[in-house]
Amino acid sequence: MYPVMLSLTDQPCLVVGGGGVALRKVLGLLEEGARVTVVAPDPVERIIALAAEGRLTLERRAYRSPEAGDYRLVLAATDARETNRLVADDARAAGVWVNVADDPELCDFHLPARVRRGDLQLTVASAGRAPFAVRLIRRLLERRFGEEWIEWTEAAAGFRRRVRALGLDAAEERRCFEAWFEATVDPERLTARVPRAEEESACLIRRGRVPSSTGARECATAPRDVDASLRGEGTGWVSLVGAGTGAPDLLTLRGYRRLHEADAIVYDRLAAGALPADLPSRVELHPVGKTAGRHPVPQQEITALLVRLASAGARVVRLKGGDPYVFGRGAEEAEELARRGIPFEVVPGVTAGIAGPAWAGIPVTCRSEAVRVTLVTAHECAKSGGPQVRWDLLAQDPHATIVGYMGVTALPGVVRQLLDAGMAPDTPAAMVERATTAAQRVAAAPLVRLPDEARRVGIRPPAVFVIGPGVTHRKRLDWQARAVLAGQRLLLPPSLTRAEGDLTRAGAEVLVVPLPMTPAARIALAAAPVTGCVFATADDVDLVEDERANPGLAQAATAWCLGAGTARRARMRGWDRVIELAGTNLAEEIGDACMAARQPA
């Protein structure tokens, strides 16, 4: 097979079939700008909706030979092999390329599995001979190539433009590109980062050339221009939105509205799970997340990105975990926006220092017990120039609650300082990891033993510690731990949205995703593994199958299936654990099955 990348913009393409497989092919063609005609007697609702929106032509009838010859590209995806063969024969007779789903013998070309990171595409194919291997390799690549490659690819395109403007010869250009690549890519971990403007200039200087008069800020770190159709008149607008603690339904109503109004979203790693899965595909998504010791996009470049997008007239959302002004560096970004005269607003979010303890049954204030709350960043404990936090004063206040952010590695030092300053060793204390999500874990112990207990439980970032009398209420008030679906993160199709309230009340974290998935849905799904997928139809199973490479689906999950036909399709697709549901009350049925699984054999 000879690999090619086809430009299908404004090209007439035919899809014969109207099920879930056909829908995936339709969406792929629409994404590339093709003019799509669908021929199917009984198409799924999403195809009907796309036709109603004017995005494709739908003819609700059987295929009529030899109409395939009237198109530039043909895809057949019906359940009848005779029909698929007829479509393939007609296309070939007219010299038109044809692909038939799951039938390599009838295909002139194959559709590879794709991993997309913005404009960067990695494709895997096996000439149709080993689709399972392709699927598993794609899953591997999805895990290895993070979202930071989106920004990196845009930066690479900008750097290429800058180098080309210098008029270098081919050898000099190649050396510049190689120097830039070596400076920004870790070949062992397959990670990438956007370089600072000074680093880019250094790549050119090392090649013996001085950068052109084009300012260092107008180079590779700039994102692609905002699409002209999305630009407003003059300067745009920036909303600094707090995403909350990770549970998608703890995003505020105003934050949700701003995200749907946005042209571009610049989001942190811890905010990814709160991205609304139904965001339109037109919205630009810019990941700028950080992990401990690894900052692919430096803070100054994040701020510069906000300025550039807004200056192009875009409505921008800066989506930050928790609250923008609580250890989120939102004030730094707001100050720069104010200095540049760019309009902005702040949409507060639910901060982990309050929500985390509450979700674990710990009130941070309680009448007559805790009447003050101090929020601190535990990193202050390890500052060589002396901490700004007065641990000695905090240790002397028995009626206060101390809540510490970013404190997993600093916890032993914090405890030591508090104990040295006179805090009682038996002061109630706890640490809460990934608060309000299905992955939440809690370690609780007297202060002197909390570091050891956190290590025993295996607490990892992100986590907050809470020290104070409110921790004594935990066993009585830990409502979440008693919920029958606590620890469950469930993927739910829109057709079952009615069950979302019951499932969350039963303790589950629920991610309602459109099928096929939008780019935002894929990012939200990848934020944490799901424990199960609820399928209403066999088409739902097929549509999720294409997403099995997503890190959120990488671990073994339960297929909760409405009806025998849906369950059969899940087994056929290789789901190891398939449970058939009646559909009368999903929360009760899934809860009963989970309770039964916890019982000793």
| Dist. CA 470–CA 468, nearest whole Å | 6
| Dist. CA 410–CA 141, nearest whole Å | 34
- DSSP symbol at 224: P
- Number of neighbouring beta carbons within 10 Å of residue 248: 21
Q: Is 502 a catalytic residue?
A: no
Cβ-contact 264, 316 below 8 angstroms: yes
The residue ranges of DSSP E strands in 280-407, in sequence order, are: 284-287, 315-320, 344-347, 372-377, 400-405
Choice among 70, 89, 249, 290 that is catalytic: 290
Task: Please give the helix or strand (H or E) that residue 545 lies within, else none.
Answer: helix 538-545
Helix axes 148-164, 197-205, angle to 10 degrees: 40
In the three-class reduction of DSSP (H, G, I as helix; E, B as strand; rest coil), residue 124 is classed as strand
Cβ-contact 264, 309 below 8 angstroms: yes
Token pair of 588 as six digits: 């009760």
The DSSP code sequence of 26-66 is HHHHHHTT-EEEEE-SS--HHHHHHHHTTSSEEE-S---TT
Query: 176-214 burial, b for 16+ CB within 10 Å, e for fewer?
Result: bbebbeeebbeeeeebbbbbbbebbbbbbeebebebeee
Q: Is 103 a catalytic residue?
A: no
Task: Please give the helix or strand (H or E) that residue 587 lies within, else none.
Answer: helix 586-598
| Dist. CA 505–CA 512, nearest whole Å | 15
Cβ-contact 333, 283 below 8 angstroms: no
Backbone conformation region of residue 424, classed left if phi is above 0, alpha if psi is from -120 to 50, else beta: beta
Distances (CA, A) of 561 to 158, 514, 550, 571, 586: 47, 17, 20, 10, 10
Choice among 268, 540, 542, 546 that is catalytic: 268
Q: Which residues are catalytic?
A: 268, 290
